[in-house]
Amino acid sequence: MNSKNSINSMDPINTNNDDCRDWERYSARQDTRMKMGGFVGKAEYRGELGEFLSMISLGEKVHVGKGTGFGLGRYQIDTS
């Protein structure tokens, strides 16, 4: 798979009802408040995703990105 060429040939990504939310949590170990945040909403991908589907499906199960230990990085695939 040539990821760079595949990504460049994909149709645009549309986001719906997206919102960037910031929140804080308290760290007892560091005795301070930690700023957290991230994207909440829906993203719609169109085009041929066959090359990426296995990676996208894996990410749905293991979550991705920073803060996964706090429940961040979760997403759900809907193929409808």
Q: Is 50 left (phi over 0), alpha (psi -120 to 50) or beta?
A: alpha
What pTM did the predictor assign? 0.57
Q: Round the CA-based radius of gyration of the chain to a whole number and report it.
A: 16
39-70: per-residue pLDDT in tens?
887 777 766 777 778 888 898 889 888 888 88
21 pLDDT higher than 90: no
